[in-house]
Amino acid sequence: MDDEFDVIVIGGGGAGLAAAVSAAEDGASVLLFESERELGGSTQLSAGLFTAAGTSVQRALGIEDSAEKFFQHYMDLNQWVLRPGLVHTFCEQAAPTLEWLIGLGVEIPAVESGNAHQPGLARAGVEDVWRAHVPKDQGYGLVQALDRARRTHGVDVVLNTRVEELLVAGGRVAGVVADGIEMRGGAVVVASGGFAQDPTFVDRYFPAARAAGESLFVVAAPGSRGDHLRFGAGVGAALAGHGWGLLMPTVYFQRYHHWQSGFPPASRLYVNQEGRRFMDEDAPYAVSTGILDRQGGYGWMIFDEKARVGLPAGYTDWTPDRVAEEVAAGRTACAATWDELAAAIAVPAPALKASVDRWNAQLPAGADDDFRRHLSLAAKHSDTHLEPITEGPFYAAKILPAELVCTHTGLEIDSNTAVLDATGRPVPGLFAAGEAGGGVLGLRYVGGGNAVANALTMGRIAGRAAAAESHSRTKAQGN
Ligand SMILES: Cc1cc2nc3c(=O)[nH]c(=O)nc-3n(C[C@H](O)[C@H](O)[C@H](O)COP(=O)(O)OP(=O)(O)OC[C@H]3O[C@@H](n4cnc5c(N)ncnc54)[C@H](O)[C@@H]3O)c2cc1C
């Protein structure tokens, strides 16, 4: 039976849209299924930070960089447990993908950006050169540009339709089943995102997230139900990335991503269960969760009354009233003296007092000899002189890795995004990208923006690869 489309794409987030557009650019007829009422997935919710090396934006700012440097950094941060060939392809293709996006209308001004919300080039904190590209209108801007391109190419989209299973015929993936209807395609790209919204999969593939207990909250898009794992199980696909994902440290009462929740006071310090300060409070995501893990999984965020009343209104979690509510409920410790606060959180009072004294001696003067936080503040274009923590009452709220952003266990892919089976051979007709494709996202988030870069870069490769496979199959059939 003839294929109805050359390429069928499952999922209309970053990876799926990039795959659909690149397949269409290569002359393929493409159909894209999206389970939700609108396109975008987690990509649309994201800040859109895109890590890439050797880009026109970097060059315009006089930054010398290369895919080789990026590769070395990426592998080192991930302790070389990822497959170098795959990661090398990613690092090499990230910059051309960024240029492709700019060509499709994504705007990334060649200016230094102070944070994930200011378009330009930002520093995430763990890299040797600035690589975090922040697009105008963030993840939404990326999705809009790709959606315009897919309309230009006449790519059909079926919204509100969750693909149920892969269609297998003649020893290959030959299409999909959605709404009980079979749709045949020359090749299929799985780009259905991660599994953060499925507690059973989180337990199985990212159990570290469970350590947050009641404090765990998920910011990934609702469609992140792990359908790639179900599809993969049906065709014997191997998995990569077991046990990894991105958890961000937050106080126990936060329930939303910081856009909604607001930000904790700048004048805050974190102490461990011994009452000792243990980290740069603005440490990058790539390392902050690991640092907390080493302290028994949590620490205490310490701030004073001046910091609490200075919080701006209008957010859901970080407001003066919300903190007061948590205190009234007995969940955030509050005390008139450091001795009482130390007793309330069961840390040694002399250590807590020494930590606060040292912080007050250094940070208000704009220097942090111990943890070098002034560098993180400067990179964010924030004032490096922080208010002293001296005005009681004093507060202590538990901080722990509790915000689940994305998951990394995906269908194992090769450098061409072909899905591999347990023997390491490609499953004919099947490609995967984004969080659904495993092997690029590792144990460390490589800041800033390796998840968006992964989705769009590997998605673009997947679209081309699927189009090529479909065309060669059509040729072989003599059609
Ligand atoms: C709040 C937030 C901020 C973030 N900020 C950044 C950042 O700045 N930089 C960075 O690198 N990373 C960031 N991330 C992570 C990053 O956005 C994601 O890892 C990445 O965008 C995932 O892209 P994707 O295409 O794999 O998945 P998604 O964008 O989630 O797309 C998957 C799509 O598939 C659909 N789908 C699922 N199952 C089916 C099915 N069976 N049939 C049809 N459709 C289906 C979903 O509804 C969804 O639309 C952030 C994530 C969040 C949630």
Q: What is the CATH number of the domain that holds 268?
A: 3.90.700.10
Are residue 332 and residue 295 in the same domain, yes or no?
A: yes
Cα angle: 386, vertex 392, 393; to 5 degrees: 120
**Is the pLDDT assigned to residue 100 strictly greater than 60?**
yes
Residue to mutate (ligand 1; options 22, 32, 33, 42; most atoms within 8 A of CB): 42
Distance from C-alpha of 170 to C-alpha of 161, rounded to nearest angstrom: 26
CB-ligand 1 contact for 36 (6 Å cutoff): yes
**How close is the Cα of 157 to the center of ligand 1, in Å?**
17
**pLDDT for position 77:** 93
Name the domain count of the chain. Answer: 2
Instruction: Report the 10 Å Cβ neighbour count for 151.
Output: 11
**How close is the Cα of 42 to the center of ligand 1, in Å?**
3
**pLDDT for position 479:** 54
**How close is the Cα of 189 to the center of ligand 1, in Å?**
15
128 pLDDT tier (thresholds 50, 70, 90) = confident
CB-ligand 1 contact for 377 (6 Å cutoff): no
Residue type at 287 in one-letter notation: V
**pLDDT for position 116:** 82
**pLDDT for position 311:** 96
**How close is the Cα of 221 to the center of ligand 1, in Å?**
6
Domain of residue 303: give its range: 249-403
CB-ligand 1 contact for 220 (6 Å cutoff): yes
Q: What is the CATH number of the domain that holds 131?
A: 3.50.50.60
Phi/psi at 427 (5° precision): -80, 115
Are residue 178 and residue 325 in the same domain, yes or no?
A: no
Give the end of a domain, one of 374, 403, 432.
Answer: 403
**Is the pLDDT assigned to residue 115 strictly greater than 60?**
yes
User: Averaged over 64-71, what is the pLDDT?
Assistant: 97
**Is the pLDDT assigned to residue 199 strictly greater than 60?**
yes
Q: What is the pLDDT of residues 421-447, one digit of tens each?
A: 999 999 999 999 999 999 999 999 997
Are residue 299 and residue 441 in the same domain, yes or no?
A: no
Exposure b/e, 367-391, CB count within 10 A at least 16 = b: ebeebebbebbebbeeebebbbbee
Largest Cα span, the chain: 83
CB-ligand 1 contact for 352 (6 Å cutoff): no
**How close is the Cα of 436 to the center of ligand 1, in Å?**
9
Are residue 393 and residue 413 in the same domain, yes or no?
A: no
117 pLDDT tier (thresholds 50, 70, 90) = confident
> Which residue, judged by its Cα, is nearest atom 17 of ligand 1?
43
**How close is the Cα of 128 to the center of ligand 1, in Å?**
27
**pLDDT for position 308:** 98
User: Averaged over 283-307, what is the pLDDT?
Assistant: 95
475 pLDDT tier (thresholds 50, 70, 90) = confident
> Which residue, judged by its Cα, is nearest atom 11 of ligand 1?
449
- Two tokens, residue 370: 């111990």
